[in-house]
């Protein structure tokens, strides 16, 4: 930590609940608390308003009618994105959860291609339509769209992966990493080093590897 008081407010019960099985997510709450972060799980932000040089954040706990107020110097909001599809819609392209593209990354207007956070594509390995908000997919898909535009035969079947660092822990995830799936954990050191497999009908749909990061 940098010496500042930090509060982390989110509506789920634990950090990374949408990704990780409940015991791993709960251990992340403990890790953040050990590091001095005030973890306010199960709390929703209702308003953010300036007051002088400060910011007043009003929150409400899920299941309670009690409103709380916290006065802070700064707010960092991590809320996800909504794809900017207005231009595509105005051009008459098919848009669902994002701009729809085929395996060659063509939109419904074959001279127009889309890639990255904004594009929705079908992944044959995972057998589902995906729109991925991660760097690995944006880089790989962008390069593939360029090759496709230049006339190469492209079938985009890349399995998306992503990574993040949580203090001294790092994780790398590939495929469908969704805590609603059945999970099987193989820990070398519980919640610090190991692999979580995400299963459906006895098949692995995704995998998250957790490890301790090196000193650099
Ligand atoms: C705070 C933050 C942290 C992140 N951390 C990670 C991480 O740890 N790991 C990870 O894998 N990913 C992370 N990501 C996600 C990653 O940055 C994105 O997946 C990636 O940048 C998407 O690339 P993109 O080219 O699809 O879109 P963008 O990088 O959003 O690029 C789209 C570009 O299009 C431009 N544009 C939009 N509309 C128009 C228009 N009408 N005309 C012209 N230009 C237009 C925009 O200005 C922008 O420059 C993070 C993102 C954020 C915001």
The domains of the chain are located at: 6-72, 86-149, 161-212
Is residue 43 scored above 70 in pLDDT? yes
Q: Examine domains 6-72 and 86-149 and report if their fold is the same.
A: yes
| Chain segment 99-125, per-residue pLDDT in tens | 999 999 999 999 999 999 999 999 999
Closest CA to 178 of 137, 209, 136, 207: 207
Mutate to test the pocket of ligand 1, among 101, 117, 141, 159 (most ligand atoms within 8 A of CB): 117
* Ligand 1 neighbours (beta carbon < 6 A): 84, 87, 116-118, 133-136, 138, 162-164
Predicted confidence (pLDDT) at residue 80 exceeds the cutoff of 90: no
pLDDT of residue 2: 60
Is residue 71 within 8 A of residue 51, CB to CB? The reply is: yes
Tell me the two tokens of residue 196.
């979580």
Q: How far is the CA of 41 from the centre of ligand 1 (A)?
A: 28
Residue 216 has pLDDT above 70, yes or no: no
Report the nearest atom of ligand 1 relative to the CA of 119: 26
For residue 137, the ligand 1 atom closest to its alpha carbon is 19
Cα-to-centroid distance, 66 and ligand 1 (Å): 37
pLDDT beyond 80 at 3: no
Percent of the chain with pLDDT over 70: 99
Atom of ligand 1 at shortest range from CA of 87: 41
What is the per-residue pLDDT for 4?
87
Place domain 86-149 in its CATH homologous superfamily: FAD/NAD(P)-binding domain (3.50.50.60)
Contact 181, 200 (CB under 8 A): yes
- CATH architecture, range 161-212: 2-Layer Sandwich (3.30)
**Topology of 6-72 in CATH?**
FAD/NAD(P)-binding domain (3.50.50)
User: Which parts of 36-155 fold into alpha helices (H)?
Assistant: 86-90, 135-149
């Amino acid at each position: 930590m940098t010496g500042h008081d930090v509060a982390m407010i989110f509506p789920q019960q634990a950090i990374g609940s949408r990704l990780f099985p409940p015991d791993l997510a709960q251990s992340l709450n403990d890790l953040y608390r050990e590091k001095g972060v005030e973890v306010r799980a199960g709390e929703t932000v209702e308003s953010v308003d300036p007051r002088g040089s400060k910011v007043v954040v009003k929150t409400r706990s899920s299941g309670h009618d009690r409103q709380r107020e916290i006065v802070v110097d700064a707010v960092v909001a991590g809320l996800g994105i909504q794809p900017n599809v207005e231009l595509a819609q105005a051009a008459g392209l098919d848009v669902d959860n994002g701009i729809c593209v085929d395996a060659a990354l063509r939109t419904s207007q074959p001279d127009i291609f889309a890639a990255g956070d904004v594009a929705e594509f079908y992944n044959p390995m995972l057998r589902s339509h995906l729109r991925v908000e991660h760097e690995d997919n944006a880089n790989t898909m962008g390069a593939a769209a360029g090759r496709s535009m230049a006339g190469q035969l492209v079938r985009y079947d890349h399995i998306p992966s992503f990574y993040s660092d949580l203090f001294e822990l790092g994780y790398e995830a590939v495929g469908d990493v969704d805590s609603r799936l059945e999970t099987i954990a193989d820990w070398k050191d519980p919640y610090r080093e190991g692999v979580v497999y995400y299963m459906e009908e006895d098949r692995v749909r995704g995998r998250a590897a957790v490890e301790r990061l090196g000193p650099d």
